[in-house]
């Protein structure tokens, strides 16, 4: 479109008022939406020229005809719209991501001492989660094992049940739900009531928090602009980094 606009502007710059091509060029630049939606004869009427003049003008700027010009205008308009949508989403994303990181820093300080207590080497630590939360936690578990922690990560339902059946009173069981609404994990947590210490990391403030001993909310506004867990999974990884550094 840029090349076509340059050619149209050149016609205006090189021509004189009253020149048919100058009149057509000025009309097109001022009425791109109209040109993209109307017939050659209708555009010609607006320019006070014959339809054949419109066709000749298109050939002068290197096009086969008015339909090609319409296509270029529409494509350019769609591209601008997508660019604006991308910019809008990108700005929302950056704001949400930065806010989540700032809230994590602030809120983690409130539970820092409790985290140090919970992550004691003398106990078994079980972490149960699924999908993105599982992969966001995997690296943390590997690093903690190198520090000689007895820590286990599981995303298989049958295996989770097996662990729950043999969990000891001194153990810590952690549930991670980025949606905050995983009813399966919530059910497992209920089955551990008065059996061992439980802790939940949730991507949203939900009733899940009421069935564990302690909880931490990964505060975010991600749901306001898309149905993904990208920011929450990144915030979860940062949370695990903090735990690792404090352990």
How much is the CA Rg of the chain, to the nearest whole Å?
31
pTM over 0.85: no
Residues 4-55 have pLDDT tens digits of 888 888 888 887 657 899 999 889 888 888 888 899 999 999 999 999 999 9
In CATH, the number for domain 2-64 is 1.10.10.10
Residues 124-177 have pLDDT tens digits of 999 999 999 999 999 999 999 999 999 999 999 999 999 999 999 999 999 999
Specify the higher pLDDT residue, 85 or 208.
208
Do residues 137 and 240 lie in contact, with contact meaning Cβ atoms separated by under 8 Å?
yes
Question: What residue spans in the chain does CATH classification 1.10.10.10 cover?
Answer: 2-64
- Fold observed for domain 89-246: Rossmann fold (3.40.50)
Specify the higher pLDDT residue, 223 or 110.
110
Do residues 211 and 190 lie in contact, with contact meaning Cβ atoms separated by under 8 Å?
yes
- Cα distance between the two ends of the chain: 59
Question: What residue spans in the chain does CATH classification 3.40.50.10490 cover?
Answer: 89-246
Any residues with CB less than 8 A from the CB of 228 and at least 6 apart, and which? 222
What one-character DSSP code corresponds to residue 127?
E
| Predicted local confidence at residue 93, as pLDDT | 86
């Amino acid at each position: 479109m840029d090349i076509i606009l340059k050619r149209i502007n050149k016609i205006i710059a090189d021509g004189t008022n009253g020149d048919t091509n100058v009149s057509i060029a000025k009309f097109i630049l001022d009425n791109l939406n109209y040109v993209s939606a109307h017939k050659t004869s209708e555009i010609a009427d607006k320019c006070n020229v014959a339809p054949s003049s419109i066709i000749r003008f298109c050939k002068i700027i290197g096009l086969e005809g008015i339909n090609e010009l319409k296509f270029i205008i529409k494509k350019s308009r769609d591209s601008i719209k997508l660019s604006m949508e991308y910019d809008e989403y990108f700005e929302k994303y950056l704001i949400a991501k930065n806010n989540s990181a700032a809230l994590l820093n602030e809120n983690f300080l409130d539970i820092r001492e409790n985290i140090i207590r919970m992550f004691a080497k003398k106990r078994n630590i079980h972490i149960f989660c699924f999908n993105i939360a599982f992969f966001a936690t995997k690296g943390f578990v590997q690093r903690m094992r190198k520090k000689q922690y007895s820590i286990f990560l599981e995303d298989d339902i049958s295996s989770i049940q097996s662990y729950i059946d043999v969990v000891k009173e001194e153990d810590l069981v952690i549930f991670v739900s980025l949606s905050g609404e995983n009813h399966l994990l919530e059910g497992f947590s209920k089955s551990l009531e008065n059996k061992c210490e439980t802790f939940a990391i949730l991507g949203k403030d939900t009733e899940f928090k009421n069935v564990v001993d302690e909880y931490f909310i990964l505060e975010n506004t991600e749901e306001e602009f898309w149905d993904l867990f990208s920011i929450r999974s990144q915030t979860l990884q940062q949370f695990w980094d903090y735990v690792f550094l404090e352990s």
